[in-house]
A and B are shown apart, each in its own frame.
Chain A
Amino acid sequence: MQHVSPVREPLVTGGKTYHDVTQDVCRQVEAAPNIRWMAALSVALLLLGVFFYSVYRTLWYGIGEWGLNKTIGWAWDITNFVWWVGIGHAGTLISAVLLLFRQKWRTSINRAAEAMTIFAVICAAMFPVLHMGRPWLAYWVFPLQNTFGSLWVNFNSPLLWDVFAISTYFTVSLVFWYTGLVPDFATIRDRAKGPIAKVAYSLLSMGWKGSAKHWSRYETVSLILAGVSTPLVLSVHTIVSMDFATSVVPGWHTTIFPPYFVAGAIFSGFAMVLTLMLITRVVFKLEDYITIEHIALMNKIMMVTGSIVGVAYITEFFIAWYSQVEYESYAFINRATGPYWWAYAAMMTCNVITPQLVWFRKVRYSIPLTFILSIIVNIGMWFERFVIIVTSLHRDYLPSSWAMFSPTIIDVGIYVGTIGLFFTLFLLFAKFFPVINMAEVKSVLKYTVDNGPTYTGRDPHHAPQPVTTHGVPASAPVNYDKHD
């Protein structure tokens, strides 16, 4: 039984019934693919082709195909790795942290956001694996004895921590996402007409029937997965930041990195969620589920995390001066005024100034502006990682080894290629899987219809009495600004 508050904004608009939710979400799964989807998939597949070509060149000719040099041993590869992992974090934040905080608006976006997490982590994993040079030996990162003796992996190394963090994060996100999908696969299975669809969704739905006992366990499992995923998601980007922070490179060796990276990850992740959702809601006609309120709320989270990132940038600068370490201060002055000043300027503009526009209600509630903003933030966060990695490395302690980095066409190809890989996976997901968690949306539907006068499916003889919350009758006038 939902306790309905008369002062809440509806989470789903359009007075939907339970059956409407099923119809609206299953529509694109059951219909033949439309032309816009086919066009988008063709572009994504083209980029995926670029990815495979670039990977082929990298594997056949070696890492020399990339623009790395003796001084700058990490550049676009690790930039892209951190960028993709960061994007993934918003999905877990939405599905786990917002579940723990009982933010029911997450129900319409958590499925797609979790899918984004999984695909982003797949893209991220490509970079360290390819950078190994011999990816077929990638299993050597696991604690297996060395082929020629009994040497183990080094558990003191943050790079090894990363292996454990990313693999745990990926597999846990995958089971969390899949367990949430099972009841919705059952819905599609029970509606399926064709024999192939019936068998396919029967296999995917694991025989789910929606019995009360299973739902009870399902809720327990979701809650615990959320509870465990919350520290997990924080640990993953903390460990990613330790790849840098535990080294002695000026510009990397800072204790602020873990919280700064986590905030940056959520910031970029929400930007990517917004980019994807703004497209998805239009293409699949889901405007009633992913409402303007959702967009405004996500904008707010983007603004908060963007501001944390801004404070972190300023703090780094302050500490570089305050610590009186000349290498540290040089690293930061060089970042802002050296040969890579343009990357630094791009990072500052995109990440510190643009999110502040969200303070304006007009921006927060504007779909075109939000879309542009989300793209700018995505670009800005890519530059942030580029600035941290390349500008810190390119001028180190020995001026004789100072160098500049320029990417080759293969570097660009792999990066653009992973975007193709990501969108191929996302488009396939959006076509064949339910993009909105139907079961969870149905469970919050009543919460939104305010005692259900618009809900036609209800039996009038059994309609519960108007619910009161803390003594406030359901019909009480709302006397404060509901939005802000």
Chain B
Amino acid sequence: MTKRFALGIFEDEDVLLHAVENVREAGVKIYEVFTPFPIHGIDDALGIERSRLPIAAFFFGLTGLSFALWMQIYMLGFDWPMIIGGKPHIALPAFIPVSFELTVLFCCHGMVITFYAISKLYPRWRTPVLDVRSTDDKFVMAIEVNENTDMNKLTQILRENGASEVNQKEMSKF
């Protein structure tokens, strides 16, 4: 499906941040904002909810810890118990290092895989972008438009809020 976007191009992140607030107040729905680097405060301005990735990370870590403890206790305590250095079969202090490492391993990889999956980031042959300068030095505000949109009014709102250019672009599969 082809979508049409009006693109407000901004030169500065502070200008963009004010523009985001004002444009939303004017009742315009912002489709997405593309920036070359993370801007602090834009989450609140756009109304992006706080990510729940830390919670996911915690549970991945907990899984790693449980797995590590289960593995070590089962293998050395029950499946093939051996006396090593006069220690008990289940020598918990000696299990701390591996338990810690597996907690970290599960936590990091689980969280990073979740991040890529929910953000739908995966290797692609070609990556269409709305404006190639948005990964360089321009801040792009994309607003989805259709036949009924008053382009003049939208352009005026964007211009008034400091957009240096207002472009239109059609994009399929975006």
Chain A nearest CB from B87 CB (Å) reads 6
Q: B94, A198: Cβ atoms under 8 Å?
A: no
Residues on B with C-beta less than 8 A from A35 are none
Q: Given known contacts A1-B41, A19-B136, A168-B104, is B33 in contact with A206 (CB within 8 Å)? A: no
User: Chain A interface mostly helix, strand, loop or mixed?
Assistant: helix
Q: Which of B113-129 contact A (CB under 8 A)?
A: 115-116, 118-127, 129
Are B12 and A161 touching (Cβ within 8 A)? Answer: no
| Given A211-B34, A217-B118: A199 in contact with B125 (beta carbons within 8 A) | yes
A206 contacts B123, C-beta separation under 8 Å? yes
Question: CB distance A439 to B37 under 8 Å?
Answer: yes
Q: Which B residues are in CB contact (< 8 Å) with A171?
A: 105, 108-109
Contact of B36 with A212 in the complex, beta carbons under 8 Å: no
B12 near A186: Cβ-Cβ < 8 Å: no
Q: Would you call A203 and B125 a contact (CB within 8 A)?
A: yes
**Residues in A210-245 with C-beta less than 8 Å from chain B:** 210-221, 224-225, 228-229, 231-232, 235, 239, 242
- Which of B72, B91, B104, B123 sits near A232, CB closer than 8 Å? B104
Select from chain B the residue with minimum beta-carbon distance to A179.
Answer: B112
Q: Are A151 and B80 in contact (CB under 8 A)?
A: yes
B76 contacts the other chain (Cβ, under 8 Å)?
yes
Q: How large is the interface on B (under 10, 10 to 19, 20 to 34, 35 or more residues)?
A: 35 or more
Inter-chain contact A443/B123, CB cutoff 8 Å:
no
Contact B11–A457 (Cβ < 8 Å): yes
Docked CA distance A224–B41 (Å): 19
The answer to whether A217 and B135 touch (CB under 8 A), given A152-B76, A175-B108, is: no
User: Which residues of chain A come closer than 8 Å to B39, judged between CB atoms?
Assistant: 212, 215, 443
CB neighbours of A205 from chain B (8 A)? 127
How many chain A residues have a CB neighbour from B under 8 Å? 76
Which chain B residues numbered 85 to 106 have a C-beta less than 8 Å away from chain A?
85, 87, 91, 94-95, 97-98, 100-102, 104-105
Whether A218 lies near B38 (C-beta < 8 A) is yes
Q: Are A155 and B94 in contact (CB under 8 A)?
A: yes
Chain A residues near B (Cβ < 8 Å): 1-2, 17-19, 22, 143, 150-156, 158, 160-161, 164-165, 167-168, 171-172, 175-176, 179, 182-183, 186-187, 189-191, 198-199, 202-221, 224-225, 228-229, 231-232, 235, 239, 242, 438-440, 442-443, 446, 457-459, 461-462, 464
Q: List 8 A-B contacts (CB under 8 A).
A: A155-B72, A164-B98, A187-B36, A202-B123, A206-B122, A221-B111, A232-B101, A458-B12
Interface residues of B (CB under 8 A from A): 11-15, 17-18, 32-43, 46, 48, 51, 53-54, 57, 61, 71-72, 75-76, 79-80, 82, 84-85, 87, 91, 94-95, 97-98, 100-102, 104-105, 107-109, 111-112, 115-116, 118-127, 129-130, 132-137, 162, 164
Beyond A155-B94, A171-B109, 9 extra complex contacts between A and B, CB < 8 Å? A18-B136, A168-B101, A187-B36, A190-B136, A191-B136, A228-B57, A232-B104, A438-B37, A464-B14
